[in-house]
Amino acid sequence: MAETLRQKQSRFAFLMAQFICRVNEMGYEVTFGDAYRDPRCPYGSERSFHHKRLAVDLNLFRDGRYLTSTNSHQPLGEVWESMGGTWGGRWNDGNHYSLDEGR
């Protein structure tokens, strides 16, 4: 039986919780940026996984400094990918972490 959207959302939330714990162990802190995005939102793609609650943009901090570059997110993005997620740094959206529906 195929996984439902709600089941994928639950899996994404669980993976994100595990990921954030790992991020903290690596010496970083995060806050949530754009998580759920209402389809009426005037920016972003109509196909965005934010609309499906399968993506979040994370604000990254280390030693109290806000890190905004894709390069700053790369070590985290690689961890997220190793957990089965998709990292936006592959298309220059470094703070974007999602779970593609096919995964």
User: Which domains, ranges and CATH numbers included, belong to the chain?
Assistant: 5-98 (3.30.1380.10)
Percent of the chain whose predicted confidence (pLDDT) is above 90: 74
How buried is 29 (Cβ within 10 angstroms: 0-12 exposed, 13-18 middle, 19+ buried)? middle
Cα first-last separation, the chain:
14
Q: List for the chain the helix, strand, coil content (%; round to 5).
A: 35, 20, 45
Percent of the chain whose predicted confidence (pLDDT) is above 70: 95
Quickly state the pLDDT bin for 41 (edges 50, 70, 90): confident
Taking only the tens place, the pLDDT of each residue in 22-40 is 999 999 999 999 888 777 7
Quickly state the pLDDT bin for 103 (edges 50, 70, 90): very low
Structure tokens at 49: 């996984």
Candidates 92, 85, 74; CA nearest to 19 is 85
Reported pTM: 0.90
